[in-house]
Amino acid sequence: MRRIASAGLLVVLAMLVAGVVFIEVRQSQGNRKAAEFLADFEVKPVEELGSTKTLRILPLVEYHTADAALRTEVGVSYL
């Protein structure tokens, strides 16, 4: 019985280690791909951006609502 339990524990541990290795390899590949993209990326300045006289910030999502039929959430997004 102990042999079965230790073999099962060994399998679970091996799967855990394999999962961590897989995630680390994927992360390093993504980091390398992002670094290559940023190295090749050319920043182009915006010309004639202009200016504004007023700025109005409109909340798109609020926690409280005036109508119970409307859905809400905790986060707030501003436009």
- pLDDT for 17-42, tens place per residue? 999 999 999 999 999 999 999 998 99
Does 71 have pLDDT greater than 80? no
Does 79 have pLDDT greater than 80? no
> Given this model, what pLDDT does residue 17 score?
97
> Given this model, what pLDDT does residue 2 score?
85
The chain-wide mean pLDDT, for the chain, equals: 87
* Signed CA dihedral, 33, 34, 36, 41: sign only: positive
DSSP classification of residue 39: H
